[in-house]
Amino acid sequence: MEYMIFNTLEIAENAELAIEQIGQLPIIGKRASDGEPQPTKQKTEKWDTPRQRKDGKWILARLPIACRTANAEQKAEFDSNYPHVIEEYNPDWFDEVLE
């Protein structure tokens, strides 16, 4: 899995908030039989929670390719406002394995 790597917690948290706004979170589940919203059932409230690696940098799960290619202008703005690099997950980042 790929992750966005940020230098500070502040940038990682602000990036996560921007993702929430772009994705219009929270997303409320709907009943499969009729599409009726189910606000007391499953709900997506956050894309991810920033986690700190042993080297002091902060990570967020990378957005799926469909989200990254849907709006090039929005992606360019995100990349500019929340500088980051992309890295493949490495178990050495943490003392314990991510769930």
Sign (positive or negative) of CA dihedral 40, 42, 45, 51? positive
Residue-wise pLDDT tens digits, 31-47:
788 888 777 766 666 77
DSSP E strand stretches across the chain? 2-6, 27-28, 43-44, 51-52, 58-61, 85-88
Provide the residue ranges of all domains of the chain, joining segments of one domain with +.
2-92
Please name which of 70, 96, 14, 76 lies closest in space to residue 47, comparing C-alpha atoms: 14
pLDDT at 31: 77
pLDDT at 23: 65
Residue-wise pLDDT tens digits, 45-99:
677 899 999 999 999 998 878 777 777 787 888 889 999 999 999 989 998 765 5
Give burial (CB, 10 Å; 0-12/13-18/19+) of 13.
middle
Residue-wise pLDDT tens digits, 1-34:
999 999 999 999 999 988 877 765 556 677 788 8
Are the beta carbons of 14 and 58 closer than 8 angstroms? no
**Which pTM does this prediction carry?**
0.74
